[in-house]
Structure 1
Amino acid sequence: MVIKRAGAVIALIALTVTSFMQASIAGAQSANAFNDVPTTYDYYSAVGYLKDLQVVEGYDDGTFKPENTINRAEFTKIALLASGYEPEGGNCFPDVTDQWFAPYVCKAKSLGLLSGYPDGDFKPERPINFVEAGKIVSNGLKLGLDEAYSDEWFQKYVMALEESQAIPTSVDTFDQYINRGEMAEMMWRIKTQQKEETNYYEDLSRTTEAQQMHTISSCSVLQDKFEDALAYNGYYYRDALMVEEAAMDTTASAPTVEKSAENEAVLTGGGSTDGNYSTTNVQVEGVDEADIVKTDGEYIYIVKGSTIRVVRAYPAAGMVEMDAIEFDDDGFSPSDMYVDGNKLIVLGQSYYSYPYPVLRTDAKIMPYPYYGGSISKVFVFDITDKSNIKEFRTLEFEGSYTQSRKVDDMVYMVLSRPGFYAYDTIENVDEILPRYKDTGDDTAKPLVGCTDVKYVPAFESADYLIVAGIPVNEASGEISKEVVLGSAGNIYSSRENMYVAATEWNWDYETSSESTNVYKFALDKENVEFQGKGKVPGTILNQFSMDENDSYFRIATTKGNSWDGTSTNNVYVLDENMDMTGKLEGIAPGESIYSTRFIGDRLYMVTFKKIDPFFVIDMSDPKGPSVLGKLKIPGYSDYLHPYDENHIIGFGKDTVMPTEQEEIDWNQNFEWYQGIKIAMFDVTDVENPKQMFTEIIGDRGTDSPLLYDHKALLFDKEKNLFAFPVTVAELSDEIKNDPNASGSEYGSPVFQGAYVYGIDLVNGFNLKAKITHYDETEIAEKAGYYWYGDKDIERVLYIGKFLYTVSKGMVMANDTANDFKEVNSVEVGGIDDNYYYIME
């Protein structure tokens, strides 16, 4: 039977709370309160006061653990007794029945001192945050509440604590989890009416969480951090059996490079492209992004299944597949790669699972005794001789590979690894630390020590966020790394700093909401350094929701849901310390962000629900971003690409109105998306942006990877050229000619390949070519089906005058100087999945 957030876990915590009595201040200040509370500790007097009053006894080993968080049940008991009430009652919340804390919680609920969460639970084992504690204390000790303070549900409670000078200076934000020392300080100040230095509501009212970074002081403290996070996030299993200790062996054998025997030819006389070849479409100039296809101007490298295929592409007439790179680890899946001179860097991961080691012997409820995860791997190959590619360096990291960036010859890899927090004692440091292996290592070793792990006090996470910097041209170069308690999502990187964003779903007494945590890391070849964490309301769409400019970090978010009309879109500016400098909130209420692009002092934003508002936002003043102009047009853009400083290209979908009957039936304000829409926006007059040109491809069902992956776009302004993969769907003539047809009708796929366009500011978009890897027989066989086959074109690039289209099954070269006529093609070996779905 599964029990969520079970209260029995709380019984394991050794804090004993006795009756709360008044005492003199002098008698409260014990010389040696606990062996881990020195006289230099900021809240020494408060802890001693509670001990002298016999309110707390501490732990069996004589410690108080003042830096540990305190859960909601413990805090409620202390506050109730401090208020002079007797505990009574039970079964007042679904998760508060007959446990030891039930009489205290239920009595406090009956008195109106506290309430539950929106889901009905009390969550007794959850660490209590400052505003939750403030409500209980203010109500229980009958502090004067001013109902005029109503901006937030908690404002009146915090203001009452401010009036009593009872906000410890170590409390920085409203949602910070208070620790045991801060709990003692709050109680001491209120009960003794001590007037000490205090924080104020205004100090805590910043929506960012740019707090000072802390470092874990010991392995036992790190273990405690994970246990706190477990109590906050954990799911528990009743009657789970104890398991024997298992060897934590994640060390796979070192992979080797195996050569295919299909093609042993080594061509000569390759000619020169003079550096005239395309690179991956990236967000920031000078910051490369890993992709499934890369070129060095002569060879094309392709991720296919569990292999890397290598094709000598230039000159096009002699195109041939070379030896493939295969991996000994059958479980390894390459995700993407980089090419840097004579080095090929492949990133990916393997998966594993194994039993937990022995859990706490006195635990009545424990985590399910199996866990698994990922081993992320980095292979660096020497590709000087393409007919004899050699392994140069191999690295393995515990954790899931999220994303990466490359700056010069450094690859910065972002990983997320769950913390293993169920151990009774720590016998080996690598039991709770992320580990790694380098070339030649027989066993894995800790990536960092316990005291190297960083954290931000107001945020408890059960995961490690890891950023590792790898020098790709050094066979044994030192890895620069940073390990933080946190989680990973989308990333943005400049050449100097990397920002890792992760969504946090917030629950408090009155409301539920979402926010985005942003972790900042300074990048240097010798060192990766955690700079701090910011926090903003809402969630981001993707990496283009973030940007850095002149040391300021800018981020665009959507808060709430468009389907129930509660959404708003917002822009926030944070300084180099991750403190909020400026904000613009309430953009396009009821809609959601579909695309954004920061370019210099401007932000271009597309929101959508029924019609596409294209916003131009002035970001020149970090303290006051403002809307300069907007344009409302049918359709929306999923990706915005700069043409020049005054013109933006949008790639997205066209839309049509629903029928009158559909509007009645659905009772919604919406439109049906249709085929792909390309639009050129003129923002020369920022107050009056214009749509200059548009191009519509296909009908509903037409799609392109470009709409969710910018790396699928080939764009070259100097050549007046862009191209991208597309699957085109078309409606039947019968449906097209029916004036009453619904916009919800899907067309049947009729083409998969690449569309190639010319572009300029006079003629707009000019379709130059349609290129497919399927022959006429295959097209006929696939008609009416989803394609998703080996020959679906995924990337387009150029080398010299030749345009290359790349699928998992083929590389084709077309001559841009001769009406894009096919010059040559080569079948690509290896195995990849084919999926075909009938369109109903």
Structure 2
Amino acid sequence: MRSIILIVLISVVAGAVLSGCIQPDTGVDIKDKTGGNVSELTISQFESTQGLKKFSSVKEIKEFLKVSSASSGYDQYGGWGGINFGGFMQKGMMEVTGAMDSVMPTAMPAATTSAMQTGAGESGAVDYSTTNIQVEGVDEADFVKNDGKHIYVLAQNKLVIVDAFPAAEAETLSTTIIDGRPRDIFVNGDRLIVFTEEDSQVMIFPEYEYMPMSRYTQKTNALVYDISDRKKPVQVSNFSINGNYFQSRMIGDYVYFIVKDSVYYSSGVVDVPVIKRGSVKIMSPDIYYFDNPEQNYVFHTIASVNIKSEKINAKSFMMGYSDNLYVSENNIYITYRRNLPMLYYEAQREERFYKVVVPNLPIGVQDKIIAIKGSDLTSSEKWEKISSILEDTYNNMTENEKQDYAMNVQKAVEEYETKLAQERDITVIQKININKGDIEYRAKGEVPGSLLNQFSMDESGEHFRVATTSQIWTGRESKQYNNVFVMDNELAIAGKLENIAPDERIYSTRFIGNRLYMVTFKRVDPLFVIDLSDPKEPKVLGELKIPGFSDYLHPYDENHIIGVGKETADNQWGGTSIKGVKLSLFDVSDVNNPKQLDKYEIGTSGTDSEALRDHKAFLFDRKKNLLVIPVREVTEKPRYDNRGYYVQKVWQGAYVFNLTPQDGFKLRGKVSHLDDYEEQMYYWGSPGAVRRSMYMDDVLYTVSAQKIKMNDLNNLSAIKSIDLPYDRNMYYQYSWR
């Protein structure tokens, strides 16, 4: 058996050497990128560089992409090529000359504000909730906002403004149709901005071609409205950027939004980010890049808009495909997984053969192979000689020598692959400074592992803290563990805590002051309390193990943490079954011995809450002892209906709690947007699903796709409801929002 394994192993590494020595026919000399051909590549040549560079022209971008496409090992024209990730098409080719013009001569002047900001007016609520955000002073866009007087909500393709306070007199003031697919809004006094996405088709001419090619495009629009008259919102600006809307933040009067556009390069055509106001091009942002290889490049255009003056600024950064974003009052942090091109793996296989396999051969055999490697023979001639030597060496081994050789090589290969897997399991962090609309690149850093979401990151003074999960996959095994890294102002690692909770992964994290609260899970839910007071030496202070897990953590006060997640239980097969939604209240006053003060379980297996995935669905106010989450609660076992469909009846609405450390979770009541008949016949996917909640003074407002409902906070008695416009036929385009 070991002999068979050895033969297979030799054949595999042999194939790797042969494939690694053959340069793909790409039409571009790889020496442009590496200084040599593919057979001379080493893994170190794929390491990230820290220097930021700037393209001076579209021609320079084309040359960079041409070489990168060849280096990726894919077809550079119309295929993957590391360039056309996701299949997004041409966005209207606009050639840029010189140094990527900042502002075109035809740019329209910024509009002036014609009315003084009035806010919600004197008749608004004294006390009202706002969107649940991560960083104080950094607002996050959502599909519904309020200012203590009015509620602004995106209902499919419409912006609806409701005079919501006082609740008994609530009425719809205006309904405005929004072109495209509305995503999010911000409200700032008498200004409102809507982010939308839309598709279009353009015809462009590739370089020196006589017939146009059709390209399907996607662009993000930022629509600025004057809402000084809530009954008649007036659009005052329409900014557009080619690409997909990613995320946005508002700091003071400045709105920052990020648009991602996968870099497309084919037939001599390359798209660059273009900003328009209406139909007029006003900017081609400067484009920055890093001269290190990625399998897929994406333009990340960061734009800032002063919501009052409508002045816009933007810069674009070409980097890997991002997945998470953290924004403080001073910096934007964009993260993405390192994704190396195919030729990295070619170099890796060849390097593995020479560094791992060859050293386990007899000295004389090693010398022969090294001499062949350095000869002027062709790739096929080299391997013909090497394979002959390997066969002769193996056939002349005794059975014991064969077994020892197989064991030694297998162990060395596993160690080598584990080390490389750790080096590949990297998250890249890009730091961009923002200040009153200005955008300046600051630093780049890397950490092992992957980030769960925005709550895996935190900026504290001169340090940036991150929590990651490392997943190391080799041919024979997988390893999983968690880490905490503290980085300095330049994103160099200053301190680290690794190998936390082996064989588990992070389910939620929350940085609060000098502590990190981390929940991992495999069979039980360990809550870790981690001390970050010494940036150079983070350490675990305490740990609590209980069934279940928390997907979202929220501070109650400095000594108590709220968790929202799922309950679990051991099943009859020796595994773990996920049950209903679980609310937990943790006491962390004794950091060495955290405790669960109380828990509340909702429903059975299949019960869900949007708050598990989106913190904006979570409403909490300590002064009011108020906690509200939307819930889809399973109320019966799955069954087949009279049409033969496998269905499961659920109740949907909002759970409203009193919450104190002394009494724990006390259910005030539940609010549903469904009538009695619908509650009996309700299944998944209804427009009556409550998605958001807010309060104004002593009134609770809950929002679904079909209505806004108002209830007295004291006893949850119904006050009034406002119907929202929705069309079931538009579900697939706008969902229930």
Q: d(CA) in 2 for partners of 1:135 and 1:301?
A: 58
* CA deviation after TM superposition for structure 1 residue 686, in Å: 1.2
Q: Is 1:176–2:46 an aligned residue pair?
A: yes
Q: d(CA) in 1 for partners of 2:608 and 2:578?
A: 11
- SS of match in other structure, 1:675: strand
- SS of match in other structure, 1:706: helix
* CA deviation after TM superposition for structure 1 residue 396, in Å: 0.5
Structure 2 segments unaligned to the other structure (5+ residues) = 1-12, 80-88, 95-119, 349-416, 640-645, 733-737
Residue 622 (structure 2) aligned to one of 699, 717, 740: 717
- SS of match in other structure, 2:174: coil
Q: What is the correspondence of 1:460-609 to structure 2 with a 5 Å cutoff?
A: 460=294, 462-475=297-310, 477-506=311-340, 508=345, 509=348, 510=417, 511-512=420-421, 513-560=424-471, 565-609=478-522
Q: d(CA) in 1 for partners of 2:725 and 2:38?
A: 66
Q: d(CA) in 2 for partners of 1:136 and 1:237?
A: 21
Instruction: Spell out, residue by residue over 1:657-685, the C-alpha distance to the aligned partner (whole angstroms, 9 max, x if none).
Output: 020xx23xxxxxx4111100111111111
Aligned position for 2:161: 310
Aligned position for 2:123: 272
Instruction: Spell out, residue by residue over 1:215-272, the C-alpha distance to the aligned partner (whole angstroms, 9 max, x if none).
Output: 22443322122223333557549999xxxx999379xxxxxxxxxxxxxxxxxx9963
Structure 1 segments unaligned to the other structure (5+ residues) = 1-108, 140-153, 155-173, 178-208, 251-268, 362-367, 664-669, 735-745, 836-840
Question: 1:813·1:823 contact (CA, 8 Å) conserved in 2?
Answer: yes
- SS of match in other structure, 2:553: strand
Q: d(CA) in 2 for partners of 1:468 and 1:826?
A: 35
Q: Which amino acid aligns with 1:708?
A: R
- SS of match in other structure, 2:571: coil
Instruction: Spell out, residue by residue over 1:611-668, the C-alpha distance to the aligned partner (whole angstroms, 9 max, x if none).
Output: 1111111112222211111111100000000111121111000001020xx23xxxxx
- Evaluate the alpha carbon distance shift between residue 310 and residue 175 of structure 1 in structure 2; reply closer, same or farther with a 3 A threshold: farther
Aligned position for 1:352: 200
- Evaluate the alpha carbon distance shift between residue 135 and residue 546 of structure 1 in structure 2; reply closer, same or farther with a 3 A threshold: same
Question: 1:230·1:462 contact (CA, 8 Å) conserved in 2?
Answer: no
* CA deviation after TM superposition for structure 1 residue 128, in Å: 9.0
Question: 1:226·1:420 contact (CA, 8 Å) conserved in 2?
Answer: no
Aligned position for 2:378: none
Q: Which amino acid aligns with 1:443?
A: V
- Evaluate the alpha carbon distance shift between residue 780 and residue 526 of structure 1 in structure 2; reply closer, same or farther with a 3 A threshold: closer
User: Hey, which of these two has a bigger chunk of strand by percent?
Assistant: 2
Question: 1:541·1:594 contact (CA, 8 Å) conserved in 2?
Answer: yes
Aligned position for 2:370: none
Instruction: Spell out, residue by residue over 1:182-225, the C-alpha distance to the aligned partner (whole angstroms, 9 max, x if none).
Output: xxxxxxxxxxxxxxxxxxxxxxxxxxx57132222443322122
Q: Which amino acid aligns with 1:312?
A: D
- SS of match in other structure, 2:322: coil
- Evaluate the alpha carbon distance shift between residue 359 and residue 826 of structure 1 in structure 2; reply closer, same or farther with a 3 A threshold: same
Q: Is 1:343–2:191 an aligned residue pair?
A: yes
Q: Which amino acid aligns with 1:647?
A: H
- SS of match in other structure, 1:622: coil
- SS of match in other structure, 1:774: coil
Aligned length: 597
Aligned position for 2:709: 812
Q: Which amino acid aligns with 2:218?
A: S
* CA deviation after TM superposition for structure 1 residue 114, in Å: 4.5
Q: Is 1:633–2:546 an aligned residue pair?
A: yes
Give the percent of matched residue pairs that are identical in Structure 1 and Structure 2.
36
Q: What is the correspondence of 1:734-753 to structure 2 with a 5 Å cutoff?
A: 748-753=648-653
Displaced runs of 4 or more, over 4 A: 112-117, 120-139, 232-235, 237-240, 353-356, 368-371, 561-565, 731-734, 832-835
Question: 1:415·1:488 contact (CA, 8 Å) conserved in 2?
Answer: no
Q: d(CA) in 1 for partners of 2:512 and 2:151?
A: 31
* CA deviation after TM superposition for structure 1 residue 391, in Å: 0.8
Question: 2:254·2:437 contact (CA, 8 Å) conserved in 1?
Answer: no
Q: What is the correspondence of 1:682-693 to structure 2 with a 5 Å cutoff?
A: 682-693=587-598
User: Hey, which of these two has a bigger chunk of helix by percent?
Assistant: 2
* CA deviation after TM superposition for structure 1 residue 815, in Å: 1.0
Q: d(CA) in 1 for partners of 2:508 and 2:332?
A: 21
Q: Is 1:801–2:698 an aligned residue pair?
A: yes
Aligned position for 1:377: 221
- SS of match in other structure, 2:537: coil
- Evaluate the alpha carbon distance shift between residue 435 and residue 270 of structure 1 in structure 2; reply closer, same or farther with a 3 A threshold: closer
Q: Which amino acid aligns with 1:653?
A: K
Aligned position for 2:388: none
- Evaluate the alpha carbon distance shift between residue 590 and residue 318 of structure 1 in structure 2; reply closer, same or farther with a 3 A threshold: same
Q: d(CA) in 2 for partners of 1:607 and 1:320?
A: 46
Please report the TM-score for the alignment, with normalisation by the length of structure 2.
0.74
* CA deviation after TM superposition for structure 1 residue 486, in Å: 4.2
Residue 830 (structure 1) aligned to one of 716, 720, 726: 726
Q: d(CA) in 1 for partners of 2:560 and 2:31?
A: 50
Residue 229 (structure 1) aligned to one of 49, 64, 68: 68
Q: d(CA) in 2 for partners of 1:379 and 1:299?
A: 19
Q: d(CA) in 1 for partners of 2:541 and 2:128?
A: 38
- Evaluate the alpha carbon distance shift between residue 176 and residue 674 of structure 1 in structure 2; reply closer, same or farther with a 3 A threshold: same
Q: d(CA) in 2 for partners of 1:683 and 1:801?
A: 31
Q: d(CA) in 2 for partners of 1:462 and 1:648?
A: 40
Residue 698 (structure 1) aligned to one of 594, 603, 624: 603
- SS of match in other structure, 2:339: strand
Instruction: Spell out, residue by residue over 1:756-793, the C-alpha distance to the aligned partner (whole angstroms, 9 max, x if none).
Output: 001111000111010001010111222xx32x222111
Instruction: Spell out, residue by residue over 1:41-83, the C-alpha distance to the aligned partner (whole angstroms, 9 max, x if none).
Output: xxxxxxxxxxxxxxxxxxxxxxxxxxxxxxxxxxxxxxxxxxx
- Evaluate the alpha carbon distance shift between residue 415 and residue 828 of structure 1 in structure 2; reply closer, same or farther with a 3 A threshold: same
Aligned position for 1:434: 273
Q: Which amino acid aligns with 1:828?
A: L
Q: Which amino acid aligns with 1:494?
A: S
Q: d(CA) in 2 for partners of 1:626 and 1:360?
A: 62
Question: 1:724·1:755 contact (CA, 8 Å) conserved in 2?
Answer: yes
- SS of match in other structure, 2:232: coil
- Evaluate the alpha carbon distance shift between residue 121 and residue 548 of structure 1 in structure 2; reply closer, same or farther with a 3 A threshold: farther
Residue 414 (structure 1) aligned to one of 244, 258, 261: 258
Question: 2:635·2:651 contact (CA, 8 Å) conserved in 1?
Answer: no
Aligned-pair Cα RMSD in Å:
3.6
Q: Is 1:754–2:654 an aligned residue pair?
A: yes
Q: d(CA) in 2 for partners of 1:554 and 1:122?
A: 42
* CA deviation after TM superposition for structure 1 residue 514, in Å: 3.3
Question: 1:481·1:527 contact (CA, 8 Å) conserved in 2?
Answer: no
* CA deviation after TM superposition for structure 1 residue 280, in Å: 0.2
* CA deviation after TM superposition for structure 1 residue 552, in Å: 1.1
Q: d(CA) in 2 for partners of 1:811 and 1:346?
A: 20
Instruction: Spell out, residue by residue over 1:317-359, the C-alpha distance to the aligned partner (whole angstroms, 9 max, x if none).
Output: 11112221113x3xx1010111111111111211234566436
Aligned position for 2:248: 404
- Evaluate the alpha carbon distance shift between residue 239 and residue 775 of structure 1 in structure 2; reply closer, same or farther with a 3 A threshold: closer
Q: Which amino acid aligns with 1:402?
A: F
Aligned position for 2:83: none
Higher relative contact order (CA 8 A, sep 6+): 2
